[in-house]
Structure 1
Amino acid sequence: MSLVGEEFPEEVPLRAEEITIPADVTPEKVPTHIVDYSESEQSEEVLRQEIIKANVVCVVYDVTQEDTIDKKGSKIPIILVGNKSDLRSGSSMESILPIMNQFSEIETCVECVHALSRIFTISDQDNDRILSDAELNCFQRGRHETTWTILRKFGYDDTLELTDDYIYPPLRVPVGCTTELNHLGYQFLQRLFEKYDEDKDSALSPAELKNLFSVFPYTPWPDSVYSSVPTTEDGYISLRGYLCQWTLSAYLGVHRCLEHFGYLGYPILMEQDSQTEKTMDLEKGQTQRSVFLCKVIGPRGTGKSAFLKAFLGRSLLTDEHCCPTAFSLHTINTVTVSSQEKYLILEEVDVEAEFLKAADAACDVACLMYDVSDPESFNYCASIYKQHYMASGVPCVVVGSKADLPEVKQHHGMSPAEFCYKHRLNAPLRFAATANTQDNTHIYTKLAWAAMYPHLNGSDTNGTSFWLRVTVGVVSAGLLGFAIYRAISRHK
């Protein structure tokens, strides 16, 4: 009756009239004849006769009364449907599983509440808990779609599970390529942020973030997210921090990022097949990329963690206060380079031995950090540079940490400044966790510059010739990026 009348009837008779659903309104294009049965109005013999004629039996039970589940059918496919799910919290599947295991005729059990709740949440674009005519038409395209048509449109299969094709779209990332969100991805994320930022304070509180992730079967972000991205003074995820976290997710784990976009309804709301865009470096000369990875490498106790926190304008003490149990090896923030906003990821590489695996050394720029107050500290940086970076073409920036302490002579064969001069590296930069945040900003900018223009590694970044070469590099990057974009588009 709900199907035919397109609303829930206030008065429900004991038995509904027989109806036929035309073929043109079903996804399978097959006419479906539905016969209702009432135990109070009809006999068991009538029921047996109807079952003999049936191609499939739908056994409807009341999820609030478990004894209504105890029904048996014949050797034809049976679908169990849990009704009145709004009157019960949680699922009734625990009661169903023993019956499904006992009777092989049962093909599936349907409890639509979770799937339909996700569809409602995705479709409620203004987050007012009501579907307007426009929001209904957005996913129905002006037609009165059947429930199963809508479920399949939102990625569900016959068992009400999201299909692999929907949640895990195929994407092969060639060697030498990195993954970033394209402009459509950022537009989608911006709209989601605005939807769930109910108090319009340009930040997501824990409650607002929980609402955003209500369409997930699990919490997609770890607690350490608060120590990885920029937050407000109240410790909430700011818009910049929110976009930073998604950028980090796309860079470090693109397939998991695609899965998350699927749960959020990106393929439906944006009507796009591709949820990411690939960009490429050729010969490490120029790049159209917006996201860069910096490995922060140095002996234990050098101050790498403090360096990562300072990138977010925080200190280890403030982080311990806001999220004492959460720790992350990554921080990400935006850096402005030549009026362009780029994302820079800092990853702390914590190793005690002097040997570093090649995979741990791979990055866009390496930050080799030593403690100016420890005479043995620079030996490690020099060793790592010779092992992994001297002949690799990966730019390196040397940073002397704890610059607020008295500097001692390093026990290496030459001073850090002499080492950098010999290997055509820029002079060591000085970092102090106690310094004002603005005093350290130039270090992160230099790291982003080095990642963007690796071919200028060791150049004097203050000279006129440097800026001339940067200008040429930007023009070349634009031409190269357009050619690569077209090549990738042809092979999508």
Structure 2
Amino acid sequence: MRRDIRLLVVGDPGVGKSTLVTALIKEVFVAPVQSVVPEVTIPPEITPENVTTHVIDSTDQTDEQRDRLTIEARKAHAIMLVYTLDNLASLTAATTHWLPWLRTLGAIVPVLLVGNKADLRDQAMDHEARATASRLAEPATQSENGTPVTGSAPSGTAALDTFDEIEASVECSARRPATVTEVFYLAQRAVLHPTRPLYDPTTQSLRPACRRALDRVFHLCDHDADGILNDTELNAFQRRCFDVPLHRAELDRVRQVVAAHLPDGIRKGGLTPAGFAYLHQLFIVRGRPETPWAVLRAFGYDHHLALRPDYLLPPFEVPSDCCVELSQRGTQFFNDLFDRGDRDGDGALSDQELDFVFAPAPAHPWVGTGFPALTTTNDAGHLTRRGFLDLWCMTTLLDVNTTLSYLAYLGFDGPDTREGLRVVKRRPATTLLRSTPARTVYRGLVVGAAGVGKTALLGALVDPEDPLARAARLPRDSPCAVGTVPVRGTECHLVLQELTPGTEATILASPRRSRHYDVLCFVYDPQAPASFEYLVRLRERFDLNHLPHVFVATRADLVASGDAPPPRHPRRRRSSAVRDTPTPDAYCCALRIHAPLVVSCAPAATDGLTKSVLPAAVFTRLVAAAMDPESALPGAGRSLVANPSLRRLLRASLLLGALAALGLVSYRYWRLVPSGHNSGRRWLNI
């Protein structure tokens, strides 16, 4: 909401513009006054809305004054268009000159039509003038202090379509200072709580944008997803918007008012979406637009009925050596969101249930990612709870701004959506005494030649029962998958992305891009020596020693069954690079990392394979390498304490040294314990 507003007073000469401004300042009628009053600044502490208000008087008698008026009109947040109730020509000028002139300037701001000199109007022409004013705005009602105000109730007149910018029409007299104060308050309110974006007086209904916003608010407040707001939900809504509860009598009164005018607005003792919208429409019609505006602003809307940029994306700095994960509150929020959407209680979200979950948002954030194939689903292809949380962990790691905006869209329960996130170090410090890593979400890059089974490995992460079928559903362009991997008693989330051959330089040659990965998974086919040679050449081409390595040999089922074609050996040596390529085991030994894991992604392929492992073992090793990078870095990139055996030896030595020191201190203390009458002398002889 604005904290500083500018009100421009315009109108024909002699209508009393300067007199109104002077009466506002002096709080008494003053005559005569200067022709143009200098700009007046009203401090926030003396205004009901607690905003600084600048009041600018105007005239257009000279070219210089007209130029200044044009500049001020473009800077103004609201226009007070003054006419006199004793001169119908000034009202005609308002419609034939001033309003069209404002439109030519592109000044799309609220206009308050002010009928001045109410004490001097001629009773003979009063009816005609008031009728003309009512055709410009709506039928008159009374403000809080009795000032006649139009614009608080519907009219349906054709003139309103022509001059839609008129927020309200009021009457006042400079000889009655209370009415002048009320007029300027209404001008402030027209800026801070305008009715035009919310309500269409020609149709006597809420505007579509307002109704959509209120439907979103209703959806977010309907915690049990039963389509009605019960007393508990209404009180939670009231506390969030106004920080005060509703008493039982007040709740009963709300239901009575809605039921009397809109029977469909109440069901089972609670408010329906139609009743909720009607209640806000009633506030507008009765001249209290500040109430629905307070609700809309509490849920992040700006004066254009769009979610505020600072609400969707508050400032969130992430150091270069850190990444972002869901906090405990964020994880709980998405867990609760899943429970709310799972209406049939089958532990998965169908397409209809997903539409319900993301109704307050533009769409789900995984369009174009291969959703839902990239994560865990049930037999019907519906998103499971684990898959739902895995996706949000992946989204937070890869694009924190998307998670921030969706926390806002989906109604994160808290004043600050950043409470749903936490910043963690990418890599733990290398120490002798290791502590549990703070991270739980890791990102791996799967590298290998074409046709070695990289996509099948991704499929095994989310569907170990039938990895090949799942792999066929992943997109061909940079496939990605995310799944949960338990390691060392911690439930971790692993995001695997396949590096398509031909795009290696895009990621591997850029330290800025490669640092976003936590582990490299090198995949090759034992029956295709060229696939391992591809990995060797890749490592020679790019400096990758700063990333943990895990080598994986695929298609173990074909090797064991003999179905694979025999390896093709060249008749002559093609190059020294090929001639000198070591075996995979020897190559890993030279790098001082674990030997390759032999795996098959074919269903039940490892039943008779003694040397192969299930794909789950690959994912466990990948996460373990990401958790403890020093244990899987090639020799050139490791520190002294990276060797696990050496680290265990050093820890044991450190422990034995500490015990020996403790024993020595205990012995010295025992020797120095005072006893008998010589105790003082013994202490003095230390």
Report the TM range for the smaller structure's normalisation.
Answer: 0.7 to 0.9
Partner of 1:428: 596
Matching residue's letter, 1:167? L
Corresponding residue to 1:377 among 531, 541, 564: 531
Task: Find the counterpart in structure 1 of residue 482 from structure 2.
Answer: 332
Deviation at 1:263, TM superposition (A): 0.1
Q: Could you tell me which of 309, 317, 340 is aligned with 1:164?
A: 309
Q: Does the 8 Å contact 2:365/2:402 carry over to 1?
A: no
Instruction: Give SS of 1:225's match.
Output: coil
Alpha-carbon shift at residue 361 of structure 1 (Å):
3.8
Q: CA deviation at 1:413?
A: 1.8
Residue 61 to residue 293, structure 1, CA distance change in 2 (3 Å): farther
Question: 1:227·1:326 contact (CA, 8 Å) conserved in 2?
Answer: no
Whole-Å separation in 1 of the counterparts to 2:452 and 2:478: 17
Deviation at 1:391, TM superposition (A): 3.3
- Is the deviation greater in 349-358 or in 271-280? 349-358
Distance 1:85 1:219 in 2: 36
Query: How far did 1:330 drift?
Result: 1.5
| Of 72, 75, 92, the match for 2:163 | 72
Once residues 460 and 621 of structure 2 are traced to their aligned partners in structure 1, the CA distance between those partners, rounded to angstroms, is 15
Structure 1 residue 384: Cα displacement: 2.6
Q: Secondary structure at the match of 1:345?
A: strand
Q: Is the 2:588–2:595 Cα contact (8 Å) retained in structure 1?
A: yes
Q: How does 1:31-430 map to 2 (within 5 A)?
A: 43-47=131-135, 70-72=161-163, 79=196, 81-83=198-200, 111-141=209-239, 142-143=244-245, 146-222=291-367, 224-266=370-412, 268-269=413-414, 273-280=418-425, 281-283=427-429, 287-314=437-464, 315=466, 317-319=468-470, 329-352=479-502, 355=505, 356-358=508-510, 361-362=514-515, 363-388=517-542, 391-392=545-546, 394-406=547-559, 408=567, 411=578, 413-430=581-598
Query: 1:29 offset after TM fit, Å?
Result: 5.7
Tell me the CA shift for residue 389 of structure 1.
5.3
Deviation at 1:374, TM superposition (A): 1.4
Kept after mapping to 1: 8 A contact 2:348/2:383 = yes
Describe the SS at the equivalent of 1:171: coil
* Conserved? CA contact 2:477–2:500, under 8 Å: no
| Cα shift readout 1:207-258 (whole Å, capped 9, x = no counterpart) | 1001000001234232622111111111110000000000000000001110
1-structure distance, mates of 2:556, 2:328: 40
Aligned partners of 2:367, 2:475: CA distance in 1, in Å?
11
Deviation at 1:169, TM superposition (A): 1.0
Change in Cα spacing, 1:140 to 1:404, as seen in structure 2 (3 Å) is same
Higher Rg? 2
SS at match of 1:233: coil
1:393-429 per-position Cα deviation (integer Å, ceiling 9, x unaligned):
x210111122223474884621111111111121111
Return 5+ residue gaps in structure 2 as ranges: 1-43, 52-111, 114-129, 141-146, 168-189, 247-289, 560-565, 570-577, 606-612, 635-642, 653-686
Please say if residues 330 and 346 of structure 1, whose CA atoms lie closer than 8 Å, have aligned partners that are also in contact: yes
Structure 1 position 375, deviation (Å): 2.1
* Alpha-carbon distance in structure 2 between the residues aligned to 1:258 and 1:48: 45
1:449 aligns with 2:619: no
Code of the residue aligned with 2:132 in structure 1: it is E
Q: Following the alignment from structure 1 to structure 2, what is the Cα–Cα distance between the partners of residues 349 and 80? A: 50
Residue 327 of structure 1: CA displacement?
Answer: 7.0
Of 154-163 and 374-383, more deviation after overlay is shown by 374-383
**What letter matches 2:596 in structure 1?**
P
TM-score, normalising length: structure 1: 0.72
- Report the CA distance shift for 1:67/1:244 in structure 2 as closer, same or farther (over 3 A): farther
Greater relative contact order, per chain length (Cα 8 Å cut-off, separation 6+): 1
Task: Quickly say closer, same or farther: Cα 1:466–1:114, change in 2 above 3 A.
Answer: farther
1:298-357 per-position Cα deviation (integer Å, ceiling 9, x unaligned): 112221111100111254653378x58797622111111111111111111112377543
Confirm or deny: 8 A CA contact 1:179 1:250 kept in the other structure: yes
CA contact (8 A) 2:329 2:419 kept: no
| Cα offset, 1:49, TM superposition | 9.5
C-alpha distance in structure 2 between counterparts of 1:212 and 1:238, whole Å: 14
The runs of 5 or more residues in structure 1 that have no matched partner are 1-22, 36-41, 94-110, 473-492
C-alpha contact (below 8 Å) 1:361/1:388 kept by paired residues? no
| Cα distance in 2 for residues equivalent to 1:69 and 1:114 | 24
**Cα pair distance change 1:397/1:50, threshold 3 Å:** closer
Q: Percent identity?
A: 29
Q: CA RMSD in A?
A: 4.1
CA distance in 1, matches of 2:471, 2:424: 37
* Alignment check: 8 A CA contact 2:325 2:423 kept: yes
CA separation in 1, counterparts of 2:137 and 2:344? 60
Conserved 8 A contact 1:225-1:245: no
Aligned residues of 2:154 and 2:204 also touching (Cα < 8 A):
no
What amino acid sits opposite 1:182 in the alignment?
S
Distance 1:383 1:127, change over 3 A: same
Alpha-carbon separation, structure 2, partners of 1:212 and 1:84: 34
**Aligned mates of 2:528, 2:301 — CA distance in 1:** 59
1:278: Cα distance to partner?
0.2
CA distance in 2, matches of 1:313, 1:51: 67
TM-score normalised per structure 2: 0.53
Write the letter of the residue equivalent to 1:401. T
Q: In the alignment, which residue of structure 2 is the partner of 1:9? A: none
How far apart in 1 are the matches of 2:419 and 2:523?
39
2:231 counterpart letter in structure 1: D
Distance in 2 separating the partners of 1:196 and 1:61: 42
Distance 1:54 1:172, change over 3 A: farther
Taking the aligned partners of 1:345 and 1:468, their CA distance within structure 2 comes to 30
CA 1:469–1:235: 2 relative to 1, 3 Å: farther
8 A Cα contact 2:374 2:474, kept in partner: no
Change (3 A) 1:135 1:427: same
